[in-house]
Structure 1
């Protein structure tokens, strides 16, 4: 039995409801991978920002500071 990291059917239903378009068979996998890359970039940039601010660890403030830039980089 294969384990998935997320409910594939639920992701497809949500995307289909918001897009009103037909979806390819494995579109949910691409969405999940894109999300994982975005989160990786967000944490990396927030870590850099928190170090520059002299903080010991990652903070919500450092994440908010870099959020817009990371979102712009992943806009489709």
Structure 2
């Protein structure tokens, strides 16, 4: 059996406690994938904003650029 990238039972407990509904067997996988896609979009948008602002450095990603794009990316992922 392959090792999980995240604690499946913990994710299921959190989702169940927050939703007050019955959850499907694989809800933790969907939550993890959504989170991964969200973080990827956030980082990509932040890198673009960082380059536009002329930031330099090894990775050219700063907290300022993440804060700048945070609202737009959150709106895209709002359920």
Runs of 4+ in 1 over 4 A off after TM superposition: none
Structure 2 gaps, min length 5: none
What CA deviation, in whole Å up to 9, does each residue of 1:46-75 have, x standing for no partner? Answer: 000000111011000000000000000011
Q: 1:44 aligns to what?
A: 44
3-state SS of 2:47 partner: helix
Match of 2:19 in 1: 19
Using the TM superposition, give the Cα deviation of residue 6 of structure 1 relative to its aligned residue in structure 2, in angstroms.
0.2
- In the alignment, the residues of structure 1 paired with residue 19 and residue 69 of structure 2 have an alpha-carbon distance, to the nearest angstrom, of 27
Any residues of structure 2 matched to 1:29-68 within 5 Å, and which? 29-56=29-56, 57-68=60-71
TM, length-normalised to structure 2: 0.93
Calculate the aligned-residue CA RMSD, in Å. Answer: 0.6
Query: What is the match of residue 75 of structure 1?
Result: 78
